[in-house]
Amino acid sequence: MTRDEIKDMILEIIEDIDEEAEFDQLDPDAPLRDQLDLDSMDFLDIVMELRKRYKLQIPEEEYPQLATLTSCVNYLEPRLKDA
């Protein structure tokens, strides 16, 4: 997947988790959770969805690397290069 595809995929997962999510004002370098008012349970769903779709096992100590949209893309790019 390209960086743009990964970004779209993340946003699609979030949209799927939260029907209230709005991305118009989203700052790609600011924490997703604060901006979208998501809690730890929602965050777990992003991780679970990545596992379900791409068989990606993300260890808990690496969750902080998924904090912002940009850091998500950075983290996932090498892991999804063949996806």
Partner 1 sequence: MADYQLIIIGCGLSGLAAGIRAARFGRRTLILEQHTVAGGLNSYYHRRGVLLETGLHAMTNFAAIGDKRAPLNRLFRQLKLSRRAFVTHEQIGSEIVFPQLRLAFSNDFSLLEAGIAAAFPGCMDRFARLVRAVDAYDPFAPAPWRSTREFLSSILAEPLLEDMLLLPLMVYGNAEEHDMDLGQFVIMFRAVFQDGFFRPQGTIRDFLDMLVAQFRRFDGEIRFQSPVASIIRRHDRVAGVVLADGEEISGDAVLSTVGIPGTARLAGWDLDVAAHTGRMSFMETIALVPARSMAELRHDRTIFFYNLEPTFSYQRPDDLLDVSWGVICFPGNFQGLEAADPAQVRVTNAANYELWQRLEDDDYRRAKERWSAKSLAAAGKIIGNSPADIVYQDSFTPLTIERFTAKAEGAVYGSPRKIRDGRTPWPNLFIAGTDQGYLGIVGAMLSGVTIVNQHLLGS
Q: Which residues bind partner 1 (CB under 8 A)?
A: 16-20, 37-39, 41-42, 44-45, 48-49, 51-52, 60
31: number of Cβ within 10 Å: 14
Residue 14 CA: distances (Å) to CA of 36, 48, 68, 75: 9, 12, 12, 17
As measured in angstroms, the least distance from the Cβ of 14 to partner 1 is 11
Minimal distance, residue 4 CB to partner 1, in Å: 26
Nearest-5° angle of CA 69, CA 83, CA 78?
55
Q: Residue 5 or residue 16: which is nearer to partner 1 going by CB? A: 16
Of 41 and 82, nearer to partner 1 (C-beta) is 41
CA distance 59 to 56: 10
- Smallest gap from Cβ 71 to partner 1, in A, equals 21
